[in-house]
Amino acid sequence: MTDVTSAKSARRPHHWRRDLIELAALFTAVAVADAIANLIGHQPDGPYLLIASAVALVATAAFHTWWARRHSHAPPPEADTGAGVDAERPSAGAGEAAETALWRMRTTVRDSPGALAALCIALARHRVDILTLQTHPLAEGTVDEFLLRAPATLPAQQLTREISAAGGSSTWIERADAHDLVDTPTRVLGLATRTALDAAELPLALRQLLGRCTIHSLPALSVGGRPTGESAPVEGVLEDTVMRLRDPSGGVITVERPYLPFTPTEFARARALVELDARLGPRVPRSEDVLTLPEGNEITVRRADRGDLDAALAMHGRCSEDTLGLRYHGPVRDADRYLDHLLSPRFGRTLAVQTASGRLVALGHLLWDGDETEVALLVEDDWQRRGIGSELLSRLVALAVEAGCESVYAVTQAHNTGMVAAMRALSLPLDYQIEEGTLVITARLTAVPAQAPDQPATEPVSRSGATSGPLPRNGQAEQRFRH
């Protein structure tokens, strides 16, 4: 009811017919009461009967008033505007927010009427609020996936026991956060959009779609050009906790989740994303950033892919054996064979630096090694010690942060002071491990500053977000390139 309507109702005038009827009813009641009083008053015990009747009427009226007030269901004083109800909600909401926790839970229930209701009753008994619910039909039973808001004092073990007692089986539960509050259709559409814009997004989109899992992107050909034998049918293969999908760029994408079997619904969603990527074909955003080095030279930082293979091979030819040896940690003659894999968007992302004349002078790689992340740099000899490596490294770390990585590591030789200095310039917690002259530096991405204090003073001329966006985790263990 609006305020205008309430005001009109409050000012509504009384009609004279209603007043006349009320006055007639009053006179009638007085006449009836006088007749009864005269009839009883002339009896011998008349006065006593009148007094007893009056006391009974007063007692009945008092009891009726007390009962009405005690069991009244009348609306609050400000029911028209809802102010009385809303005034109490903030304090309750504040207490609930401080004493609740979000949980993501999955359980299997019988496909029979009332099975889901029994679970809901068990949750309601412990004041657990169901925020979202997804159903995954199976051949026998149904997998129900809940997003729950439960009291913070309710442990996961007790919640699991209550679900089991209510008929749930194979129950799995873990903590959730605010990002899980997005409904599933919106999240899937967002992942499809990101996949459509950039082919490198497919492995990351699969990982975010399927939750905590490991993704291996295995090529059809090895680094040496030999067939690896890795393949999958077009429709893919689902085997309990493992699904295999045909990689549109060749090879196979293997997704593993040992702790929780995949459902046919999840398999269908993953296949839809892969099919979308296959239909759109190879694509990499071509936006770029132009920077000015301290000496005044302009360089362009952009994404690189297999289309830059010839330019990268030419840069290899201009690099010294020492520079290539520090980068690839093995025979220099094998360096060229790695480039085709390094430039593939399936195994990570590559940033390229080119001069104003278009010559490629540096490459920065962010590679996925299982659940870990490796960074690697290669800067042409004539362009070293100008801050290019630090610029590339800071951008690669920013991409790793956006992808949700907890750490990145770099593998180099103990005497590679340039790489050590670039890692230290990040101003992040570092761990060092040295074994037989090989140095592994791990940076923990707990807090990344906007700009490291020792970062070279490169001046951005134009910035279009060429290096922004999350990265895929494809778990390609073979891409460590430490030969």
Banded pLDDT at 184 (limits 50, 70, 90): confident
Q: What is the DSSP letter of 307?
A: G
Residue 188 lies in a domain: yes
* Residue 377 · residue 388 · CB < 8 Å: no
Give the type of residue at 129: D
Provide the domain limits for residue 440.
Answer: 288-480
State the pLDDT at residue 225. Answer: 64
Does 397 have pLDDT greater than 80?
yes
The mean per-residue pLDDT over the stretch 431-456 comes to: 69
Q: What's this model's pTM, rounded to 2 decimal places?
A: 0.56
Is pLDDT above 50 for 85? no
Q: Is it the case that residue 377 has pLDDT exceeding 90?
A: yes
pLDDT computed for residue 86 by the predictor: 41
pLDDT at 15: 58
Tens of pLDDT, residues 246-264: 888 778 888 998 888 899 9
- For residue 306, tell me if it sits in a domain: yes
Given this model, what pLDDT does residue 267 score?
A: 92
Mean pLDDT computed over 92-114: 76
Question: Are residues 358 and 449 located together in one domain of the fold?
Answer: yes
Burial 156-188 (b: 16+ CB within 10 A, else e): eeebbebbeebbbeebebeebeeebeeeeeeeb
Indicate whether 69 belongs to any domain: no
Question: Which is more confidently placed, 28 or 127?
Answer: 127
Residue 46 lies inside a defined structural domain of this protein: no
- Which H or E run contains 75? none
d(CA 145, CA 209): 14
**What's the pLDDT score for residue 50?**
66
Tokens of 142: 């149904």
Q: What is the mean pLDDT of residues 210-233?
A: 75
305 and 404 share a domain? yes
3 state DSSP class of 67: helix
pLDDT at 81: 42
Could you read off the pLDDT of 113-125 as tens digits, one per residue?
888 899 899 999 8
Residues 344 and 417 reside in one and the same domain: yes
pLDDT per position as a tens digit, 136-175: 888 888 999 999 999 988 888 999 898 999 999 889 888 8
Q: Which residue has the higher pLDDT, 367 or 455?
A: 367
The pLDDT of 311-320, averaged and rounded, is 91
Same domain, 230 and 257: yes
CA atoms within 13 Å, Cβ hemisphere of 470: 19
Beta strands 348-355 and 298-304: pairing type?
Answer: antiparallel
Domain with residue 151: its CATH number is 3.30.70.260
Nearest to 418 by CA among 385, 462, 452, 376: 385
Using 50, 70 and 90 to split pLDDT, how confident is the model at 273? very high
How confident is the model at residue 10, as a pLDDT? 43
In this structure, is residue 31 part of a structural domain? no
Residue 85 located in a structural domain? no
Residues 353, 228 share a domain: no
Q: Is residue 434 very low, low, confident or very high in pLDDT (cuts 50, 70, 90)?
A: confident
Q: What is the pLDDT of residue 9?
A: 43
| Same structural domain, 259 and 328 | no
Same domain as 249, residue 295: no
3-state secondary structure (DSSP) of residue 246: strand
Q: Which of 181, 207, 229 is the last residue of a domain?
A: 181
Based on the structure, what is the number of domains in the chain? 3
Of the pLDDT bands very low, low, confident and very high (cuts 50, 70, 90), residue 315 is very high
pLDDT for 67 equals 67
274-303 pLDDT, tens digit each: 999 888 887 777 777 888 888 888 889 998
Residues 350 and 427 in one domain: yes
Residues 464 and 368 in one domain: yes
Same-domain check for residues 391 and 315 = yes
| pLDDT confidence of residue 446 | 67
Maximum mean pLDDT: which of 205-209, 383-387, 399-403: 383-387
Please name every residue paired with 372 in a beta bridge, in sequence order, or none if there are none: 369
Per this entry, what is the length of the chain?
Answer: 483
Contact call for residues 144 and 133 (beta carbons, < 8 A)? yes
Report how far residue 198's alpha carbon sits from residue 178's, in angstroms, rounded to the nearest whole number: 26
Q: Is residue 362 part of a domain?
A: yes
Average pLDDT over residues 38-43: 67
- Whether residues 377 and 404 fall in one domain: yes
Pick from 249, 280, 311: which residue ends a domain? 280
CATH number of the domain bearing residue 384: 3.40.630.30
| pLDDT classification of 337: cutoffs 50, 70, 90 | confident
Q: Out of 43-52, 281-290, 322-331, 402-411, pick the least confident.
A: 43-52
Q: Please measure the distance between the N-terminal and C-terminal CA atoms of the chain and give it in whole angstroms.
A: 76
Report the pLDDT value the prediction gives residue 55, as an integer from 0 to 100.
Answer: 72
Last residue of a domain, one of 128, 156, 181: 181
pLDDT of residue 334: 72
Same domain, 476 and 338: yes
Confidence class for position 210, pLDDT limits 50, 70, 90: confident
How confident is the model at residue 447, as a pLDDT?
Answer: 54
Q: What are phi and psi of 460, to 5 degrees?
A: -75, 130
Q: Is residue 64 part of a domain?
A: no
